[in-house]
Amino acid sequence: MAKLLPWVMMPSEWIGDGGLRHFVWGPEIGANNVAALMTLAPILHHADRESGVTRLTYDDLERTTSLSRAKISAGLDVLERRSLIEREPEGRSTYKVAEHNPSYGWAKFPSLRLYRDGRIPFFYELNLRKRAELDAMKLWYFIAARRDNDDNLAKATYDQITASTGVPRDRLKTALSLLAANGMIHVEHVPSRHSEYGIANAYRIPQIDSSRHMGTVGRGLTEYDAFGGL
């Protein structure tokens, strides 16, 4: 596998268009949807910046994600059906990130600092048996897509997160806690005119621009209105 970069480009318009809502929980399909979002990450990490083409074997994907070969296959099928990847004719180990365009329509997606010894440790904590795992994966992609490059934060109300991801309000805290407990996000508190207490949550992915956080950019934050729709 090629050397990892600190972050990579992730096509984000599909998330803005509500694409995460299609990843739903149910018998078998829930686990396959978790596997799909897990498999998408290393494909993005190793995609050529110009062409969006990734070459990864099942062995590569198995080591990175902890998934079985059967679940990798099921996850890839989901990604292809959702038009997030295209199978390349060169072989089953070659994939193209759909809608890849280095000029527009992308967000920074964490890469290098997610890994330890060629693996993504958080993925090794997932067993594909809990709805909260799918919720967490969806929120992780949402936060990456929503992130503002100026302050390195994703700002959104619970209602907006639910509208975009399909994760109900009553499950958001559990999913966010799972991400935070595994170091995948940090929850920050920022001024808000719309919160009863004058404080709103914002979300930071610590593996992206790690030196830019509330301690370094927080003084420049101002109150924000309910964040506009994606």
Q: Which DSSP category does 166 fall into?
A: -
Please report the pLDDT score of residue 102 as a whole number.
93
Q: Please enumerate in sequence order all residues whose Cβ is within 8 A of that of 127, keeping only pairs 6 or more positions apart, or say none.
A: 133
Please report the pLDDT score of residue 88 as a whole number.
75
Q: Please enumerate in sequence order all residues whose Cβ is within 8 A of that of 169, keeping only pairs 6 or more positions apart, or say none.
A: 158, 159, 162
Q: What is the pTM of this model?
A: 0.89
Please report the pLDDT score of residue 34 as a whole number.
98
- CA-to-CA distance for 176 and 78, rounded, in angstroms? 24
Residue 2 and residue 45 in contact, taking contact as beta carbons nearer than 8 Å? no
Q: Please, what's the b/e burial string for 130-147 (b: 16 or more CB within 10 A of its CB; e: otherwise)?
A: bbbbbbbbbbbbbbbbbb
pLDDT digits (tens), the chain, 230 positions: 678 999 999 999 999 999 999 999 999 899 999 999 999 999 999 999 999 999 999 999 999 999 999 999 999 999 999 999 998 776 679 999 999 999 999 999 999 999 999 999 999 999 999 999 999 999 999 999 999 999 999 999 999 999 999 999 999 999 999 999 999 999 998 766 555 555 678 999 999 986 654 455 554 444 444 333 33
Q: Specify the fold of 7-220.
A: Arc Repressor Mutant, subunit A (1.10.10)
Please report the pLDDT score of residue 222 as a whole number.
44
